[in-house]
Amino acid sequence: MRVTKLKENQIWAFYENMILLKNSSVFAFYEIKSMVANTMSLLEKEKLKVSVASVINDLHPFGDFEINDVPMTRDLIAIFEELSDRLDPKDVYRNLAETIFKKTLNEIYETSGVPFSYKHYLVVPLKSLHISVDLKSVVKQAYRDTKQTFMEGFGIYEDIDENWYEKYLPQRQVLESRLSLLHYKPLTIQETIFLNLLQYRRGLSLDVDSEIKQVQSSIENIDDVNITIENVNVMKLSNGDDETYIAHYPIGTLPRNISHIHIVERLKNLNFPVESKIKAKFVGTKGFWSIAGQTTRAQDKIKNAVSEDMEAGDSANQEQLDDFYLLNDLKDKINAKEKMLHYMHTLIVTGESIEVLKLKLDMLTATLEDVGVLKASADQIYLFYKNMFGETLEFWDKNFIQKVTVEGFCENLFFVSHKVGTDVGWYIGKVDNEVTSWFGDFRTALQSSNNLVLSDLLQANKLEVNGKVTNNPHVLITGDTGNGKSFAAKLIVVLHTLLKCKLLYIDPKDELKGQFLAVAQELEEQGLYPELVAYIRSINFVSLDPTKKENVGMLDPIVFLPKSEGKALAKSLVWTLSEKDDEKDTALSSALDKVYDEKEAGEQRGMLDVFEELANSDKERIQHFGSALLGNAHDSTLSVVFSRGEHKGISMRDKVTVIGIKNVELPSESSQIEMTDSERNGLVVLNAIGYFCKRFGSADIAEETITVMDEGWLFETSSTGKKILNDIKRLGRSQNNFLIVITQSVVDVNAEGDNTGFGTVFAFREENHVAEILDYIKVPNTEETYKWVDNMTMAQCIYYDTFGRKERITIDGGFFPELSKLFATVKVKEEKDTYSWEEVS
């Protein structure tokens, strides 16, 4: 049946973040930005509650307020359009990026439905009949309201003073001074209109800009929606061809102990949107109808009940004793002049059918099992209109009212979201709200969350990004083998290569080249995804395998470095092989000068020519020195570093370069005093690679570069490797260089004397280092946090972002299966057309 509107729209006018109601009340609207209180950090949450309680107490002079958590649709198309502005302009990268965008959208909408995120709003009256301290103003305002109602009965309306807002601006300024502990933002007039419009459009699709313009043209359009009642007590909203069912579930009862109840935070664990609306009013602590009076009468009632029980030979039950104790505690708080509140908390849910509403109610009550969530079937229309903005609690509102101190009220935990990552970035997975284990079923974990994780690591170095707690651009990815670390790392790396940056990937196992080229060949044969094939073919793969002739001299200092830099590196490499003294150093300098001069004259030259120059010296000692170097360089690992310049060497001009290292043996920290020849040769190669990495990251400070060190633990096994890592890390922000280290454990990167650290961490499960993970991401080690990390399953990690947020996330590798084949770390059967996440992680 059609419902006659029980209450017409009460809004008379909008100005910036203020609304004027027909009773002359004015309300101001603010968005409160989410504050960092990580899921598992009770200490951070307690600090946040203290801050919020301080602000709420300061709102006492305003009498009423409303806190509203509104689920807003995430416009992924707009997000990806903004991200596309950061893409490399070349077609090979843009074409693949567009395919990834489309695949991502399809995956999210098919598996999760419409994505959403929560925004927090605080609404406070700037003028109300209930809080005026000017008796004349009260009488005058009451007269105006009565007069206006009478005149409207005859179709006579008063005009609005077009400057009505001016007398409220000082009050708004006072209010904002009291909100200083919160990160607040006054709404624009468009945002204010939209938020009020949304009260009548929940669950309906709408053209936001068009609807706002309609309201601006005529404010009566704000409630232009059909409201019907079905099945006696279910409300249905419809707007043209679109319709939705809406249900209001008020909180009926709270547990006796509301410490850490965190209702508002717990709602974020649901994978469907739930709007949380709280209407609150400060109440007096004195008088018959005050909380103090009600508390005294309640205690008297308990005393009488206990006396009757004792007369009947029964003792007081525990529930009576608990209630009496809590009432005493409440009286103590009142006597201590703590401010008291009455509030009504309503949870609003929409669905495409009555059955969907019932299912959501079941999930809602299961999530809030310790709270009395009421169906309130007979009160749906009342709750619909009572929860409109501008409505305040009145003395006749008796149902669903909670009575608490401000401190108790803030136990709901307001203005917190379980967000991690960036507002604009690549989709990489979803936040996991669980502490328990999914036992390998990461797909269910993904389906159980609608909290998307986006990531653009390059934002770490941008100054205009608000809310960051660090500008450290470096990224650490850790975890035991088999938990998805390598898959996630390569996914993140490939996605970021499509942006405006250059990337160098050090691949100690030389795995990427074979896997990437095999996928390219397979796709070419099948005629699939030519854009992905073109991307793979664009990568400069360099395999530093000394057994292959084409790799000779790829890291020769004479070949790829000018004299100003090459001499220093060449000397460093030589003194790794031989003991340095002044005579040999002088001879080496002269030989390098001569060979560099010949190179600059157009001749083909390399380090072997330097050694030959030494071997032809007039001095016997220098001859032996040169001959020894020549002997070591032939048919050994050193051939990739020492040559005659027959190959052009590694180029730094390519956008994406992957350097694979094969047959290189490195010494352990303990064996560097007595190294084998193979280990010493390995250090020479490592030094040359390290120098190339440093030069790559600092060649052009205006260009963003990413250096990826896979198997980072290999660089931590020697002092040389550690120095290389630390030198690259120090390039950092000043040189626009981002270092990504992929390693097996957070223990690998706790180097003494290194204060640079990592601004972003993806910590996958480490069976033997749970406590070390917690320590590294600065989360207290408790039984609950230990489970949080230890119960992570495959594809899950703790994401610690540059905003200081730490959440458990599930990496989504299913949105583009053909792309995921690039990240295989195990041999897969050739006859298979599809790959499971398990096989490629």
Distances (CA, A) of 331 to 57, 287, 297, 299, 526: 18, 14, 12, 10, 77
Closest listed residue to residue 198, CA positions, set 109, 21, 69: 69
d(CA 507, CA 545): 12
* Segments making up each domain of the chain, as ranges: 11-74+115-285+339-412, 292-336
Q: Which pTM does this prediction carry?
A: 0.86
Q: Is 121 strand, coil or helix?
A: strand
Closest listed residue to residue 188, CA positions, set 28, 16, 13, 32: 16
d(CA 250, CA 399): 9
Residue 807, phi then psi, degrees to nearest 5: -135, 150
d(CA 704, CA 497): 11
Q: Is 221 strand, coil or helix?
A: helix
Which token pair is 396?
């006749």
How many residues are there in the chain?
841
**pLDDT of 564-612, one tens digit each?**
889 999 999 999 889 999 999 999 999 999 999 999 999 999 999 999 9
Closest listed residue to residue 813, CA positions, set 88, 95, 103: 103
**pLDDT of 459-488, one tens digit each?**
887 767 777 888 889 999 999 998 999 999
Closest listed residue to residue 303, CA positions, set 329, 333, 288, 323: 323
228: number of Cβ within 10 Å: 14
Pairing of strands 705-709, 737-743: parallel
Dihedral angle of Cα 757, 762, 767, 768, to the nearest 10 degrees:
0
Q: What is the DSSP string of 519-581?
A: HHHHHHHHT--HHHHHHHHHSEEEEE-TTSGGGTTTT-HHHHS-HHHHHHHHHHHHHHHS---
Cross-strand partners of 431: 809
The pLDDT assigned to 128 comes to 45
Q: Is 805 strand, coil or helix?
A: coil
Q: What is the DSSP string of 184-212?
A: EEEPPHHHHHHHHHGGGTTT----HHHHH
d(CA 97, CA 84): 8
- Where the chain has pLDDT below 50, the residues are 4, 128-143, 147, 151, 154, 156, 288-289, 753, 828-841
d(CA 202, CA 9): 16
740: number of Cβ within 10 Å: 25
The pLDDT assigned to 24 comes to 87
Type of residue at 110: E
